[in-house]
Amino acid sequence: MMATTFWSPDGKPMSAAEFIQRLFGELPQLFKDEDQLCDLWGQPDTRKALLESLSERGYGNEQLDEIKRMIDAEKSDLYDVLAYIAFALAPITRQERVDSHRDQIFSHYDDKLQAFLDFVLAQYVKEGIRELDQDKLPVLLKAKYYNINDGAAELGGIPKIRDAFVGFQRHLYAG
């Protein structure tokens, strides 16, 4: 059994409800509306910066994962948890997100890149948002093609792969 403790910035314990209320009050400082959240979340570098900013304010992975459990959104993206808290939007699962955006994503890429992105999306559905970090790209290429050079040869080179890996994420979070 595991329990997450929530702490205020001054080091005092707080209830989960107080923690969520505090997070709700601070989110407007990080993004002004759903469109801005989509824009920030749809780019690996700005998503990482947003997560770092949340962590610096006391909203680390452990606490955010506990909130996911509290709102019955363990299979949802952290994006959906933030949208739920900030805008009262019902969370969807990562699988639902992929299913509803797959055609839009694939319309921008050739068959070979579609196959790789389908693999990436399956990893995202299974493991979560961390699979979409840029530092995961070499790991994903090795997992799919056994080594980076074979993946690069199959897909048209590292720059093309990187552009597709970063580019498809905008479509994954498009409204």
Q: Residue 75 in contact with residue 95, Cβ under 8 Å?
A: yes
pLDDT of residue 21: 87
Contact 68/74 with Cβ under 8 angstroms? Answer: yes
Q: How much is the pLDDT for 23?
A: 86
pLDDT 10s digits, 127-145 = 999 999 999 999 999 999 9
Question: Could you read off the pLDDT of 33-50 as tens digits, one per residue?
Answer: 999 999 999 999 999 999
> How confident is the prediction for the chain on average, in pLDDT?
91
**pLDDT tens readout for residues 70-80:** 889 999 999 99
Q: And the tokens for 166?
A: 């970063």
Determine contact, residues 121/102, Cβ cutoff 8 Å. yes
